[in-house]
Structure 1
Amino acid sequence: MNLLKKRWLLLTAACVINLCAGSIYAWSVFAPPLAERLSLITGTAVTAGSLAAAFSLANGIAPIPMILGGWINDRFGPRAIIPAGGIVMGLGFYLAATAVTPLELILGYGLGFGLGLGLVYGSSVNTTLKFFPDHRGLAGGIATAVYGLSSVILPPVAHALIETEGIEAALLTLGGVFAIVIVAGGLLLEKCPDAFAKQFTAAAPGKQMAAEECDWRGMLRSTRFPPMVALMLCGAIPGMMIISHCWSLAKDVVGLDAAAASAMVSMLALANVFGRLLVGALSDKFGRLASLSGALILTILATVLLSLSDQNAHLLFSAGILAIGLSFGAFMGIYPGFTAEEFGAKNNSVNYGIMFSGFSVAGFAGPMAMNMLKEAGMSYQTICLLAGTLAILGLGFAYLFVRAKKAAYS
């Protein structure tokens, strides 16, 4: 089959893989019954909160295998790394299902799932990007959107399995299914030929070929790298601040009950998915930096709307939550293609793995900052305004990036 047609099938396979990889978002469903099971086994009270370290470890460790696995993916292709990642993820589910102490659970799930996730996610996204040099924003947006869609689809599926089979059987079932699907999908994917991208020409701002092919050393030495990372942090940290506390914001700021606050979390998740897809595709037409700058402006608007919200302004709050979901999704969807465009597709699995570490930093710094500021006595409205100042700072880093790029090619 012609690669121009086959690439869409490869993108579909990558999306199915990422839907399984996104099962990390079902952790909040797994945690309470796992805590109850361990309480019965150990004879001591174990809470879902005390097991949260498993989720944090899985997220925090993922960039490491993403970088190491990216090196293998760039040189040997996805068949050499994604199936292994699927097996390791399945092992993480097995270890979670059979753990008899909280430490076993935290290490088993955190290390097993986190290592597998890093191997799978980075390779699947970057493999598809190499087949779409003319639509990097669209391809990156679709691949990351499906990963984010897991936060909407998989939790109710996991909950239903737990209700009918129990937590151990549910974990073993899901882990087995995900491992099989990821292994099969990884074997269907293939390495993009080096000459494939040469048939595409620079026809639009978002579609131009990368000006240079850099390995990770060249990327780190580039004067464009620091403002790119800073720009990412300024877009991601405000999003993570609000995403991590969406439920509490909905209850404390606008007085929603638990069910309505949960619905607001679901709406935010859908906006996040839609932002990855929509703004990722728009970046092919208008350019990556212009689209990211637009997302920063949307973040500023979102934080202003949230700061003006109260129990009499539900509409403002809903609009702010939608806007923050769209803007955060935009950064997640655009950055894989943005990295490939600036530093080349050849080594993008490794390069984006390094760049992705910025999102991991945001995932730690955003919630921590929100907690610290709230404990310091600030209102949620004031904290949202402070988050918006980071997005304003991000516009400054976008300008510095433009200057660095002009200096590099002048």
Structure 2
Amino acid sequence: MDYSKKRWSILIAACFINLCVGSMYAWSVFAAPMAAHLGQLNGIHLTPADLAIVFVVGNSVGPITMITGGKINDTFGPKVVIFVGGLMFGGGMFLSGLATTVDSLIVTYGLVLGLGLGMVYGSTISTSIKFFPDKRGLVGGLTTALFGISSVVIPPIAAAITAEMGVVAAFKIIGAAFTIIVCGSAFFIHKCPDGFKPAGWTPSKTQASVQSNDKDWKEMLRSPTFYVLICLLMCGAVAGLMCIALASPLAQRMIGMSTAAATAAVSTLALFNVCGRILAGWLSDKIGRINTLTAACALSIIGLYLLYLAGIGEVTTFYVGISIIGVCFGAFMGVFPGLTADQFGVKNNSVNFGIMFSGFAVAGYTGPTIMRNVFGATHSFKDAFLIGIVFCVAGLILTYIFRIITKKSKANELAASQ
């Protein structure tokens, strides 16, 4: 099989799959009608906030199956992982339409769907990167961008179905459709042959080193580089997750926007997040991964400071700040799959990236928690942006520590070869 040509159809299938599974982030559309539905069934009063635990669980369990599914993916290939993950993801969505209590919704949407998402997402990204050693940054950006753009495309569709047929039908229809699409697309995904090189591509010395630098997860955990990178991912993601989790309340409480205007701000943040993934992925192939992330940390400081300055009626300042944060958050999401492969090789990248992605899960808890605690203590979000700036400064420092460690490692390798 000519994988040099086939890899493009594999990439398209992976992007299409990620567009489907990114629909998990349509939860905000389901939350209110599902709270009303479950409240009526059980004769109790429920609010969307009472169902927040469902999304938290779904967002937290992904790394578990990214790691375990990654082992299967690296050993047997991605087809079976994506197929099973697609059954779990779509099945969890469908079964959520049958949920009658909050606990059952936690199981269907939180656990089953969330675990399925981890299997699919980790496999599509890792497989795509293996097939494109010449364009790791761009491909990492594209595959994560399609996952991110789902948060823009799917919610209006889900909202329309919910308004027309009810939330129960929406869960069932979307779940059934995505089961068919993801599981069907799995048959277009192939395992990348070991040592694959696209036709006409000659790796540079650095790229050749990466090709032969395969480490398993145990060797990765023994490397100081891993701990620098996972901390860098956490620090870089905190700023974005602070704003993404509460973009609408930020716009309304800080700037005085209407609900409709705040919704537009949420869409703007999502759009710049997607653009950042593609742009930074492409840029990292040109100027280097760590240089791109250094720029993202520096720009995040500017974005957070603009949000700190923004007050009632200062719409332009708010939009510039939120757009910068979106681009920089997208940069971290787009660059890190390729950076992980660069540092620890592609052979075991499914497992390695799954472990690395746990830094994102930590940030997913830390960012929103900072916002809630600061608002609870001061009735304002402003001080939270200053804390976010501290994380970004720490990220900047970590990029320079990474350079020092990498330089010493190369010097030691050179000395050992002489």
Which range, TM-score by smaller chain? over 0.9
The residue identity in structure 2 corresponding to 1:171 is F
- Contact 1:79–1:190, Cα closer than 8 Å, also in 2: yes
Partners of 1:69 and 1:319 in 2: CA distance: 39
Partners of 1:246 and 1:176 in 2: CA distance: 30
- Contact 2:142–2:278, Cα closer than 8 Å, also in 1: yes
Q: Is 203-212 or 17-26 further displaced after alignment?
A: 203-212
- Contact 2:3–2:198, Cα closer than 8 Å, also in 1: no
Deviation at 1:207, TM superposition (A): 9.1
- Contact 2:275–2:327, Cα closer than 8 Å, also in 1: yes
- Contact 1:58–1:113, Cα closer than 8 Å, also in 2: yes
The residue identity in structure 2 corresponding to 1:300 is I
Deviation at 1:388, TM superposition (A): 1.2
- Contact 1:201–1:208, Cα closer than 8 Å, also in 2: no
Q: Is 391-400 or 143-152 further displaced after alignment?
A: 391-400
Asked if residue 132 in structure 1 is aligned to residue 115 in structure 2, the reply is no
Relative to structure 1, the CA distance from residue 122 to residue 280 in structure 2 (aligned partners, 3 Å threshold; closer, same or farther) is same
Deviation at 1:204, TM superposition (A): 9.0
Relative to structure 1, the CA distance from residue 86 to residue 266 in structure 2 (aligned partners, 3 Å threshold; closer, same or farther) is same
Relative to structure 1, the CA distance from residue 367 to residue 125 in structure 2 (aligned partners, 3 Å threshold; closer, same or farther) is same
- Contact 2:94–2:173, Cα closer than 8 Å, also in 1: no
Deviation at 1:206, TM superposition (A): 8.0
Partners of 1:338 and 1:62 in 2: CA distance: 20
Partners of 2:207 and 2:267 in 1: CA distance: 31
Relative to structure 1, the CA distance from residue 323 to residue 198 in structure 2 (aligned partners, 3 Å threshold; closer, same or farther) is same
Counterpart in the other structure of 2:235: 234
Deviation at 1:211, TM superposition (A): 5.8
Partners of 1:285 and 1:211 in 2: CA distance: 21
Asked if residue 48 in structure 1 is aligned to residue 61 in structure 2, the reply is no
Partners of 1:211 and 1:254 in 2: CA distance: 52
Partners of 1:198 and 1:402 in 2: CA distance: 29
Counterpart in the other structure of 1:147: 147
Relative to structure 1, the CA distance from residue 178 to residue 204 in structure 2 (aligned partners, 3 Å threshold; closer, same or farther) is farther
Counterpart in the other structure of 2:355: 354
Counterpart in the other structure of 1:343: 344
Partners of 2:135 and 2:90 in 1: CA distance: 32
Partners of 2:140 and 2:208 in 1: CA distance: 13
- Contact 2:85–2:119, Cα closer than 8 Å, also in 1: yes
The residue identity in structure 1 corresponding to 2:114 is G
- 1:167-178 aligned at under 5 Å gives the runs 167-178=167-178
Deviation at 1:205, TM superposition (A): 7.2
Counterpart in the other structure of 1:264: 265
Deviation at 1:386, TM superposition (A): 2.4
SS in 2 for 1:209: helix
Relative to structure 1, the CA distance from residue 207 to residue 28 in structure 2 (aligned partners, 3 Å threshold; closer, same or farther) is farther
Partners of 1:62 and 1:308 in 2: CA distance: 35
Deviation at 1:27, TM superposition (A): 0.7
Deviation at 1:378, TM superposition (A): 6.7
Counterpart in the other structure of 1:59: 59
Deviations 1:284-338 (A, max 9, x none): 0010000000111110110121122122432111110000000000000000000
- Contact 2:4–2:198, Cα closer than 8 Å, also in 1: no
Deviations 1:39-71 (A, max 9, x none): 221111222221111111111111001100000
Partners of 1:116 and 1:340 in 2: CA distance: 23
The residue identity in structure 1 corresponding to 2:129 is L
Counterpart in the other structure of 2:414: none
Relative to structure 1, the CA distance from residue 100 to residue 333 in structure 2 (aligned partners, 3 Å threshold; closer, same or farther) is same
Counterpart in the other structure of 2:37: 37
Partners of 2:75 and 2:162 in 1: CA distance: 41
Partners of 1:385 and 1:41 in 2: CA distance: 44
Relative to structure 1, the CA distance from residue 7 to residue 208 in structure 2 (aligned partners, 3 Å threshold; closer, same or farther) is farther
Relative to structure 1, the CA distance from residue 379 to residue 42 in structure 2 (aligned partners, 3 Å threshold; closer, same or farther) is closer
Asked if residue 380 in structure 1 is aligned to residue 381 in structure 2, the reply is yes
Q: Is 91-100 or 356-365 further displaced after alignment?
A: 91-100
Q: Where do 5+ consecutive residues of structure 1 fail to align?
A: none
- 1:379-398 aligned at under 5 Å gives the runs 379-398=380-399
- Contact 1:239–1:325, Cα closer than 8 Å, also in 2: yes
Counterpart in the other structure of 1:114: 114
Partners of 1:196 and 1:161 in 2: CA distance: 44
Partners of 1:338 and 1:121 in 2: CA distance: 17
Partners of 1:294 and 1:115 in 2: CA distance: 33
- Contact 1:210–1:340, Cα closer than 8 Å, also in 2: no
Q: Where do 5+ consecutive residues of structure 2 fail to align?
A: 412-418
Deviations 1:186-239 (A, max 9, x none): 111000011313864334978973561100001110121111111111111121
SS in 1 for 2:357: helix
SS in 1 for 2:350: helix
Q: Is 169-178 or 203-212 further displaced after alignment?
A: 203-212
The residue identity in structure 1 corresponding to 2:328 is S
- 1:17-32 aligned at under 5 Å gives the runs 17-32=17-32
Relative to structure 1, the CA distance from residue 312 to residue 205 in structure 2 (aligned partners, 3 Å threshold; closer, same or farther) is farther
Partners of 2:179 and 2:106 in 1: CA distance: 20
- Contact 1:83–1:186, Cα closer than 8 Å, also in 2: yes
The residue identity in structure 2 corresponding to 1:305 is L
Counterpart in the other structure of 2:310: 309
Deviation at 1:183, TM superposition (A): 0.6
Counterpart in the other structure of 2:14: 14
TM-score by length of 2: 0.95
- Contact 1:210–1:342, Cα closer than 8 Å, also in 2: no
- Contact 2:94–2:174, Cα closer than 8 Å, also in 1: no
Q: CA RMSD in A?
A: 1.6
Relative to structure 1, the CA distance from residue 169 to residue 313 in structure 2 (aligned partners, 3 Å threshold; closer, same or farther) is closer
Deviation at 1:380, TM superposition (A): 2.5
Counterpart in the other structure of 2:95: 95
Q: Is 7-16 or 199-208 further displaced after alignment?
A: 199-208
